[in-house]
Amino acid sequence: MIARIGFNFVQVVVVMVFAPLLAGTVSRLKEMVQSKRGPSIFQPYRDIWKLFHKDQVISEESSWIFRFTPYLVFVTPIFVTLLIPVLTSYPLFFAFMGDMLGGGFVLALGGFFATLAAVDTGNPYGPMGASRTRLVGFLAEPVFMIVFFTVSFVAGSTIPYIVQQRWVNPIANFFEPTHVLIMLAFFMLILAEGGRIPVDNPSGHFELAMIDESKGLEYSGPAAALMKWGGQMKFLVLICIFLNVLVTPWGLARSITIHDLALAIPLVLAKVFVFALALVAVECSLAKLRLFRISEFLGAAFIISVAAMITWVFAV
């Protein structure tokens, strides 16, 4: 019991510590593909450290939502981390506190408050980014639902620890069309939710073209650090759900020993690195879509997820 609680907190620590590293690695890899040198992969840590030591400016016109949001954005990915398999293939202490849908709602709560806070200060770019995020969000929502419902329908459960065993046991299940189509749809969803390139440019600094970034423009000092760190953790959590629940449950700890857990950390990081390579390949070979083409991108994701559902439902 104590071990399970402890392991659960180890998961949280791993997500907190390695989320900035993922962001740094992806941006460094991108710079390398574009034959530039780019900042060190530890640059996000330095940014966060620097921001925590700076003064904070808060607009007098803003309400409590603006002050409250950074903490919520920071805390929601941590809550989700308690629910999902990051390092272990067996359920941990908090695993039955909520299922995948619950995790989705918790993540959506952070996003909801982030958009409210963007509107709160009256900065002209904030509401613009907020409304665009909602555009992406409400197009992504049906895909999320179909994917989760299909996955839980196939596995007969909505608890991620049970779902992950379904695809590889026996191994023929891995090649089910439903599985492959769901992986594809969820990958497109990660690109949209994480603000990656076909939908949004994460490294762009031009306010009129921003979608995700412009929500945090008003924050300074520690609040900005929390927003940044929270966003990076959310991205890592989404990738962990994708890799550990939907794609490859291999490399996770199988028994409750410190030894297994310690071995799982580098294995999971290696998987995330492979995912980062795929992400960089996608980001460097596609151009950012125009705003009204995003509906086509997510429409395609929706079609793929529904195709996954019908190939399962109608298969005899």
Binding region for other proteins (CB under 8 A): 170-173, 175-178, 180-181, 184, 295-296, 299-300, 302-304, 306-308, 310-312, 314-316
124 versus 170: smaller Cβ distance to other proteins:
170
Burial class (CB in 10 A: 0-12, 13-18, 19+), 169: exposed
Element (H, E) at 232: helix 221-240
C-alpha–C-alpha distance, residues 79 and 81, integer Å: 5
**Is residue 26 a contact partner of residue 235, using CB atoms and an 8 Å limit?**
no
171 versus 208: smaller Cβ distance to other proteins:
171
- How far apart are CB 158 and other proteins at their closest, in Å? 18
31 versus 176: smaller Cβ distance to other proteins:
176
94 versus 174: smaller Cβ distance to other proteins:
174
43 versus 173: smaller Cβ distance to other proteins:
173
- How far apart are CB 128 and other proteins at their closest, in Å? 23
Running DSSP on this structure, what letter comes out for residue 243? I
183 versus 252: smaller Cβ distance to other proteins:
183
- How far apart are CB 251 and other proteins at their closest, in Å? 23
Q: Is residue 248 left, alpha or beta, with left meaning phi > 0 and alpha meaning psi from -120 to 50?
A: beta
* Partners of 88 in the β-ladder: 253
- How far apart are CB 209 and other proteins at their closest, in Å? 21
- How far apart are CB 300 and other proteins at their closest, in Å? 6
**Is residue 192 a contact partner of residue 136, using CB atoms and an 8 Å limit?**
yes
C-alpha–C-alpha distance, residues 5 and 7, integer Å: 6
64 versus 292: smaller Cβ distance to other proteins:
292
- How far apart are CB 309 and other proteins at their closest, in Å? 10
- How far apart are CB 52 and other proteins at their closest, in Å? 44
From 259, 188, 232, 254, select the one nearest 81 (Cα to Cα).
232
Could you write out the DSSP letters of every residue in 80-141? HHHHS-SSBSS--TTGGG--HHHHHHHHHHHHHHHHHHHHHT--THHHHHHHHHHHHHHHHH
Tokens of 76: 């929601």
